[in-house]
Amino acid sequence: MLKNLTSRPEAVVAATALALFLVFWGLIGEAWLNDLPSLLRDVSWLGIVAIGSAIVIVSGEFDLSVGSVYAFVSMIFLMLMQSGISPALAFLLSMALACSIGALSGYLVWRFKLPSLLLTLGFLFVYRGLVEWITEGFPLSIAEEIQSNWLLQLLGGKTLGLHNSIGICLVLVLFYAVAMTKARFGNHVHAVGDSEVAASANGIPVGLVKVKVFTIGAMLAGFAGVISAANLSSVSTTTASAMEFEAIAAVVIGGVSLLGGAGTVWGAVLGVFTLITLKHALILMGVNIFAYQIVLGVVLVGVVALKGVVPKLLAAEWVSK
């Protein structure tokens, strides 16, 4: 059992994340622990998005629009409340919008056999452009008189000093981990990601699966956007900028195969924890924040090398012997 556990990529990511956390704790000291609630909050926001991205990638597709959906749905959420709609109804309408966005992407990918990478790249610009056009570059904010609303406090508030989004993220990880490993839905997603032809031959509704995974991905991205808006009480044109690439990087680091058919949602969230740990550590150590992009690129290239180059080198060495 121990051998099987340590051979899983998620176990390696977990060990790496823990090691990084302990190293930075030793280097930074008390300030590192003081920053822990903020770190976990950021992990939860990106983690919720990464759960959806992981499910989409396991199905053999990509969704590059999640960052823009995050910003667009959160903007609509604030605009609905500014128009006098209650936070609860605004939340329901925003989630319905997010699900519709995902369902549209999934339907177009399936019905017209469009490449999801290019399709969602186009939607990335569409939704981000809508945010910039509607707001005219100015941030939106939640009125002070409704910031104490129970729903906004539930989504964006704190309990025992920790952000409620952390608990929400944990619940979602558990739910989708079970759905992807124990439920028929997860079996269908893995089968479609492994081979659409084989899945279809076995009676799996490939089109419906694709619509479902894109709907889940957009819904979780929009949900994370609403949570961040409730916490920060504002949305701007730079909200979730480049988040889609961070989500994909976290998914890859977490052991999800870009070829589809393999990977776990909790591995993706561990990948998020690794990235956010690096980002917060660089900030606390006084390193230029733009260095984070360099570190992210180096880490991603390293992971790709470990997955691709190293096994081939080992295989060549084995053959030579």
Please write the tens of the pLDDT for every residue from 56-86.
Answer: 999 999 999 999 999 999 999 999 999 999 9
What value does the mean pLDDT take over residues 251-272?
Answer: 91
Question: What span, in angstroms and rounded, lies between the C-alpha atoms of 166 and 42?
Answer: 9
Q: Which amino acid is at 153?
A: Q
Spatial contact of 251 and 268, defined as CB atoms under 8 Å apart: yes
Asked if pLDDT for residue 321 goes beyond 60, the answer is no
Spatial contact of 5 and 11, defined as CB atoms under 8 Å apart: yes
What value does the mean pLDDT take over residues 298-302?
Answer: 79
Q: Which amino acid is at 146?
A: I
pLDDT-derived band at 313 (thresholds 50, 70, 90) equals very low
Q: What share of the chain is helix, strand, coil (3-state, %, to 5)?
A: 80, 0, 20
CA-based radius of gyration for the chain: 20
pLDDT-derived band at 7 (thresholds 50, 70, 90) equals low
Bigger pLDDT: 320 vs 111: 111
Q: What is the mean pLDDT of the chain?
A: 89
* Closest C-alpha among 263, 257, 249, 261 to residue 292: 249
Asked if pLDDT for residue 210 goes beyond 60, the answer is yes
Question: CB within 8 A of 205, min separation 6: which ones?
Answer: 188
Q: Which long-range contacts (CB under 8 A, 24 or more apart) does 105-111 make?
A: 105/63, 105/65, 105/214, 105/218, 106/210, 106/211, 106/212, 106/213, 106/214, 106/215, 107/207, 107/211, 109/61, 109/210, 109/214, 110/206, 110/207, 110/210, 110/211, 111/207
What is the reported pLDDT for 4?
54
What is the reported pLDDT for 302?
77
What value does the mean pLDDT take over residues 89-96?
Answer: 97
Task: Please state, for a pLDDT cut of 90, what percent of the chain lies above it.
Answer: 70
What is the reported pLDDT for 292?
80
Q: What angle do CA 109, 114, 119 make, to 5 degrees?
A: 80
What value does the mean pLDDT take over residues 108-123?
Answer: 94
pTM, full prediction: 0.92
pLDDT tens digits for range 211-232:
999 999 999 999 999 999 999 9
What value does the mean pLDDT take over residues 24-41?
Answer: 92
What is the reported pLDDT for 262?
87
pLDDT-derived band at 310 (thresholds 50, 70, 90) equals very low
Asked if pLDDT for residue 12 goes beyond 90, the answer is no
pLDDT tens digits for range 120-131:
999 999 999 999
Strand partners, 158: 163
Question: What span, in angstroms and rounded, lies between the C-alpha atoms of 36 and 43?
Answer: 10
Question: What span, in angstroms and rounded, lies between the C-alpha atoms of 106 and 264?
Answer: 21
What is the reported pLDDT for 308?
57
Question: What span, in angstroms and rounded, lies between the C-alpha atoms of 41 and 30?
Answer: 18
